[in-house]
Structure 1
Amino acid sequence: MPPLSPADKLADPPPPRVAADHPGVNELFAVLAYGEVVAFYRLTEEARMAPDLRGRISMASMAAAEMGHYELLRDALESRGVDVLPTISKYASALDSYHRLTTPSTWLEALVKTYIGDALAADFYLEIADGLPDEVADVVRATMSETGHSQFVVAEVRAAVTKSSKQRSRL
């Protein structure tokens, strides 16, 4: 049997391969939840690098969205009978290490890291969501939503690299 074309996959998606009550769903929600907490603190810390109030406010808005995503995941975990803090704490070492090793040294580096990191994570988790039951996938998709506010990053970086060949080469 030949592989399905992308159009065929959209027309008749395969059924989810994981049950909604699979323990792996709790782990997925937990790693996402801890990631949202880390993102909140990362964004608030990196906002201090902003050269102006507009940049600080934009980063603070992004941080607020990340905390909202955490709360969505926390509620989903609690509704599944999960003790949230011990469960998400299992992922602290790995995610904290990643952010420690990729600490930006400038405002523009912080913006690029935010934009690329968020996009990569969203692409990855949205791809996973496609194989999950609807009620689980909906939580993952909601967590990965509200990324439009990061468009200010594109404008900031574009303006900086247009003005400075040094910044253009660095980034």
Structure 2
Amino acid sequence: MTKRNRLNTNLIISVIVVLIIGSILYKNSSYYISSKHYLSSKEEKRSFYSLKNEKNTQDGKSFDFDKFTGKWSLIEFTSDKDTKITIKDNTKISKGTFYIVVLDSDYNIIAKKNESNENENENGSIDFTTPKSGKYIIRIVGKNAMGNFDIKISESNNINLSHKDFFE
């Protein structure tokens, strides 16, 4: 093998190694966690260090948590087209990255809120109108997140919430 061929081979191997390392680092970064692809993918893996004070109500859910990482589709509901929905959000995140995401049955993002952003980590609401009749999912997504999750849902038409257990 000539010196030039050896140099080209080493260069190609170096580029491949850099691409592999870059891909691994990206998938573990908060940029990947906040990507549309990650927030809306069907795959769900999740872990908590602790989950306490969980309360399911007819119109919402609340709990305290520590070190949440992953995705949890914790509420589902069926709605008619053009139903106005308001999610009153009293969530407080003290650490980590945390999103509340609303998905349709095809896992398209209808609405989302970045709870980790200091400007948005306040009491507020997530308002949206359902674009079609069907099933909708309220999902939380986080990375090393800690805090209190607390939402209440109100709507212009009657909907029934279905709470999904952590182990479902």
TM class, shorter-length: under 0.3
* Rg larger for: 2
Higher helix share: 1
TM-score normalised by L of structure 2: 0.21
Whichever structure has more strand as a proportion of its residues is 2
